[in-house]
Amino acid sequence: MIKLKRIMAATDFSECSDHALRYACEFAETFGAELHLVNVTEPPAAAYSEFGIGYVGVEKLDEDLQRGAEAKLNTLPSQEWQAKLKIVRKAILGSTFVELVQYAKKQDIDMIVLGTHGRGAIAHMLMGSTAEKVVRKAPCPVLTVRPEGHEFVMP
């Protein structure tokens, strides 16, 4: 039998990740698993010089980004789920797919759930897909959830 003790839901606070969070909550409830709700914010590149020396105020910008992400994480998931689940929240600054994979390894995550935006082929070719990179490098199974598709239906 599959045992899931720790499930990580990655969120960028979009509708797509909210949809995936619902799946993560359902799995966490079904398996009695701890839900790790993780947001990774990539600092804007314009705030840093190409020589690795940040502009004045970069530390403040990083702190503001971190505090903002933590505040948003504290509102997720809905109160109904918060009452049912043990939730660990983590806001991280860095490269999204790298930080998600590292977090999963460090926390011994059993399954990652994340949304996919379903961008077109050209956007995918130019930017790559965070979800695809996580799937390739993750130390555990990854469930990717498209914004449209199957819904949980009560029998």
> In the CATH hierarchy, which top-level class contains the domain 6-145?
alpha beta
Identify the pLDDT of residue 42.
86
CA distances from 69 to 87, 90, 127 (A): 16, 9, 23
Identify the pLDDT of residue 155.
53
Q: What is the pLDDT of residues 7-49, one digit of tens each?
A: 999 999 988 899 999 999 999 999 999 999 999 998 776 445 5
Sheet arrangement for strand 87-93: 87-93, 34-41, 6-10, 111-115, 142-145
Dihedral sign from CA coordinates of 47, 100, 69, 24: positive
| Distance of alpha carbon 114 from alpha carbon 94, whole angstroms | 17
Counting as low any pLDDT under 70, the low residues of the chain are 45-58, 118-128, 149-155
Identify the pLDDT of residue 65.
87
